[in-house]
Structure 1
Amino acid sequence: MATIQIHDVPGDVPGADTLLAEVSLPTALREGVRPGLDAMLGALAAERGLNAGGRAGAIAMFRDHLRRLAAVAADRLRFPEIADVRIERPVFILGLPRCGTSLLHALIGADPGVRTPMSWEVAQPSPPPDAATYASDPRARAFDDYVAATFTGKWADMLKAHPIGAWIPQEDGMILETSFRSLNPLTMFRIPNYYPWYLAGDSTFAYRVHRMFLQQLAWRNPRRRWVLKVQEHAYHLPELRAVYPDALFVQPHRDPVTVMASICRLIEVLRSTAFDRQDRTALGEELLHLWHDGQARMMAYRAAHPDLPIHDLRYRDLAADPLATVRDVYAFAGIPFTAGTETGVGRWVADNPAGKHGRHVYALADYGLTEDRVRTVYADYIAAYRAYL
C-alpha cells in the first residue's frame, strides 16, 4: 500500500518540466520517467471528480516519487559500488488483491534471514540503510508517527483492512511509482485516462528502477534472499523477467467474489479524502475489470510459458496454518527454513491477530455487484484455479 505526504501545493496541475526542474536526475532517469509523468499529469488534469485536496495530494505524491528517485540516484553516484550489488533469485508474491499476499509477505518479513523492503526505508531510502543501525534507525519512528497522524478520520478504516507501519513490508508499488509506470495512482486518485497508457507501455524501465532500489537497500544490509510483492507484477511479467531472469513466483488464490467485495471497500476508503462524492456502482464496475485484466494477462503468460517457476497456494490454507504455508513457500524457493524463521513467523502471528484494528465490513451489493456478475467476468480465472479457491 502506497503512502503519501500531502503538502500545500497549488490546485492547478503543473507540467512535467516544472516537476523535473525541482530535482536533479541523471539524463537516463529523467528521460525514463518523463513519458509516465506526462501521462499521469495529463490524466490528472482531465479528471474532474477530484476535490482540491485530492488534486494537491496527487501532485505532492508525484513530487515525492521524484525526490526518492533522485536521492537513490545521488547515492549511486557517491557510492558506485551500490550498482554492483547482485539481486539473485528474488521471489515475487503476486495475485488478486485481498487474497493473502500482504499476509504472506508480512510473515516472511518476520524472518531475520530474508530481506523484504520495510515501509520506512522505501519511503526514505537515502542514506542507504545500514545493518549496524537498522533496528534503531530514526526514519522508522518517523514513519510510524506519520501513520499515527495520517490514518485517522476517513482513513481510519485502512488499518482494519491493511497493516501499515514502519516494520510492515512495503509493496513494490511504492518503488515502481518512482518510475512513473505503476498501477498505484489509479487506486488512490482514479485517473482512468492513464490506465490505457499503462497497459500498452513497456515497463522494463520500471523494473530497472526497482532493481536500483533493491541494490540501495541491500548494499549495507543484505540477507540471503529478497521476497517481494504487489499485484501489478501480473500485468508486465515479460518486463519483470527481462530484468530478473531468475525470479520465482508465488500466487495465493481466493474466491474472486470475496476478493471483489473486500477490495471495493478498501479502494473506496483510500479515495475518500480525494473525492467529495464517490459513485459506488461505478467503482465496483471499474475494479471488477481492473483486477481481472491483470489475471487475464498472467494466465496468458503462464499458458505460453509452462516452465514459469511458480508456486500456487490456497488463501484458506494460509489463513488456517500460516507457518506450514511459509514452510511450503520456502521449500519451493530453496530458502532455508530455520529456527529463526519459525520464531519470527510465530511471533508475527501472535502479535497480529485477525481484526486487530477492528472488523473490515463490506458487501458486493454496496457496489452494484452480484455473485453471478463477478463469476461471469472471472469465469476464466475460476476455471483455471478452481482447485485453489
Structure 2
Amino acid sequence: MSLDASAILAEAQDKAGFADSEPVIASNLEVLCASLNSVGNLSTDGEAAAWRALVTRQADRIGGLKWCAEHPEILVEPIDALFLCGLPRSGTTYFQYLFDRDRRFQLVRTWQSLVPLPPPAADAQSVAERKAFAHEIRARTRPAEPENFAALHLYDEDGSDECHAFLEQGVTAAGFHNVYDVPTYFDWLISHCDPVPAYEVHKRQLQLLQWRGMHKPWALKYPNHVLFMDAICAVHPAARFAITHRDPLQVLASIAKMTLTLRKTRYDTVDPARVGEQMLHFIEAHIARIMAFADGPEAHRVVHVDYYALVANPAEEMVRIHTALGIESPPDVIAEIAGWRRENPKNARGANDYALAQFGLSADAVEERFATYRQRFAIPREADAIKELSE
C-alpha cells in the first residue's frame, strides 16, 4: 500500500458527508504523501496508521466546511489569540499549562483536538462522550510508549492541547517531520508552502469550537507557530506571540530524542544519525524565522520568555509577561499559577537525559551554528542556568 492523496480525500469526503472545496489543501496533502512514499520504510502498521490519521484530519476539515455552509454565522466569530511558541522542546508545554491556570483565557482541550466536531455548544451531550473517547485513546496508546514518555511530554487526557491537529487539517504542520521521516515535505514547508490557507482552516476550527460558547482570548500553543508568524499576522491582524527561549543544544538533543521515540512506533528501522541531521536542520529553520521576525516590522507583537526564569519562579515571570502583554495579574490567577508549580515540580513526571553524541552530532560544532541566536537572546548554557538557580 502507498499513501494516495486522492484516495485519502475521497474517503474523508465520504466520512464527512460533504464535498471538499479547498484545492490548496489537497495540493498540500499530495506533497506530504509523496514525501512519505519516497522514503518508503514505514512499517505495515505505521502506514495503515498514517492513512487513518490523514483521513481523520481531512474529514475533520471537510466536516467543518459542512457546518459553516449550514451555519455561515460561524465564520464571523471573532478570534482573539495569543500564540505560545518557541523552539520545539523549549518549555512551551510547561508555559501552556501556566496559561491554563488563568481563567481569562481559553485553551484547546485534548478531546477537542481528537474529536473537534460537532461544535461543543451545539451538542453539549457529545462532550462527555468525546472526553471518554480521549481517555480511551490515551489508555490504548500508553502501553506502547517508552517508560519515560511522560517526562518527554506532558499529557493529560482532559488537559490543554496544542494546535498540531488543527494544522494537520491544513497539512501545514511542521510536527509531521517529528512523527514521520519526510525531509522533502519539511523543505517544501519552509521554502514553497503558502501557509495562509492552512491558518485560515486553523482559525475556522477555533470559530467552530467557540460558536455559541465562551468569547475569551485563546492561548494557542504550538512551538512551530514561529515558522509562520507572518501568515498568522495576515489571518489574525491583532495576534500576539510569547516565545520561549532555552539552551538550543538542549533543545536539539531533546527534539532528536522525541523524534526517535515517535518514529520507532511507525518505522521498521530508524537511524539515530539521520534523525540528528534532520533535527539540526529543523531547529536551524525555526531559529532563522525567530531571528527574522524579531528584527522585522512586527517585532513589537512578541514577548520573549526566559525558560529558566519561568521554571524557577513562574508566578513572578508571568506577572512580567502579563505586563508586557498589557494585561493585569489578578491575585487569584497568580495564586493558581504558584499552586500548579508546587504540585508539578521539575522532573515530577520523570527526568530525561539528553545527549547529542547518540545522534551523531558534535556539541562544539552545533554550538558554533547556534551562537548568534544564543547571543541575541542572552540564552545561558542549561547547566549554568540550573546551577545559578540552585544557588
TM-score by length of 1: 0.90
Partner Cα distance (1:44, 1:136) in 2: 34
**Is residue 109 of structure 2 the alignment partner of residue 118 of structure 1?**
yes
Partner Cα distance (2:18, 2:364) in 1: 50
Compared with structure 1, are the counterparts of its residues 271 and 33 closer, same or farther at alpha carbon in structure 2 (3 Å cutoff)?
A: same
Alpha-carbon deviation of 1:110?
A: 2.3
Alpha-carbon deviation of 1:338?
A: 2.7
1:226: which partner in 2?
A: 218
2:33: which partner in 1?
A: 41
Counterpart pick for 1:139 among 120, 130, 133: 130
Task: Answer yes or no: is the 8 Å Cα contact 2:276–2:359 preserved in 1.
Answer: yes
Counterpart pick for 1:28 among 21, 29, 33: 21
1:16: which partner in 2?
A: 5
Name stretches of at least 5 consecutive residues in structure 1 with no aligned partner.
1-11
Compared with structure 1, are the counterparts of its residues 121 and 154 closer, same or farther at alpha carbon in structure 2 (3 Å cutoff)?
A: closer
**Is residue 369 of structure 2 the alignment partner of residue 380 of structure 1?**
no
Alpha-carbon deviation of 1:272?
A: 1.4
2:355: which partner in 1?
A: 363
- The range that moved more, 345-354 or 118-127, is 345-354
Which consecutive segments of 4 or more residues in structure 1 shift more than 6 A? none
Partner Cα distance (2:362, 2:350) in 1: 26
**Is residue 141 of structure 2 the alignment partner of residue 164 of structure 1?**
no
Q: Which amino acid in structure 2 is aligned with residue 20 of structure 1?
A: L
Alpha-carbon deviation of 1:326?
A: 2.1
Task: Answer yes or no: is the 8 Å Cα contact 2:87–2:224 preserved in 1.
Answer: no
Mapping for residues 227-246 of structure 1, pairs under 5 Å: 227-246=219-238
Paired residue secondary structure (2:88): coil
Residues paired across the two proteins, number: 376
Paired residue secondary structure (1:281): helix
Paired residue secondary structure (2:377): helix
1:193: which partner in 2?
A: 184
Counterpart pick for 2:281 among 280, 289, 304: 289
**Is residue 334 of structure 2 the alignment partner of residue 342 of structure 1?**
yes
**Is residue 186 of structure 2 the alignment partner of residue 173 of structure 1?**
no
**Is residue 255 of structure 2 the alignment partner of residue 263 of structure 1?**
yes
Residues 10-48 of structure 1, C-alpha deviation per residue, up to 9 Å, x if partnerless? xx124222122121455532x131111111111111112
Q: Which amino acid in structure 2 is aligned with residue 331 of structure 1?
A: T
User: RMSD between aligned alpha carbons?
Assistant: 2.2
Partner Cα distance (1:131, 1:165) in 2: 25
Q: Which amino acid in structure 2 is aligned with residue 192 of structure 1?
A: P
Q: Which amino acid in structure 2 is aligned with residue 128 of structure 1?
A: P
Compared with structure 1, are the counterparts of its residues 364 and 180 closer, same or farther at alpha carbon in structure 2 (3 Å cutoff)?
A: same
Alpha-carbon deviation of 1:106?
A: 1.3
Task: Answer yes or no: is the 8 Å Cα contact 1:179–1:205 preserved in 2.
Answer: yes
Alpha-carbon deviation of 1:185?
A: 1.4
**Is residue 197 of structure 2 the alignment partner of residue 208 of structure 1?**
no
1:6: which partner in 2?
A: none
Alpha-carbon deviation of 1:293?
A: 0.7
Partner Cα distance (1:114, 1:132) in 2: 22
1:311: which partner in 2?
A: 303
**Is residue 45 of structure 2 the alignment partner of residue 53 of structure 1?**
yes
Compared with structure 1, are the counterparts of its residues 341 and 133 closer, same or farther at alpha carbon in structure 2 (3 Å cutoff)?
A: farther
Partner Cα distance (1:15, 1:283) in 2: 25
Compared with structure 1, are the counterparts of its residues 364 and 307 closer, same or farther at alpha carbon in structure 2 (3 Å cutoff)?
A: closer
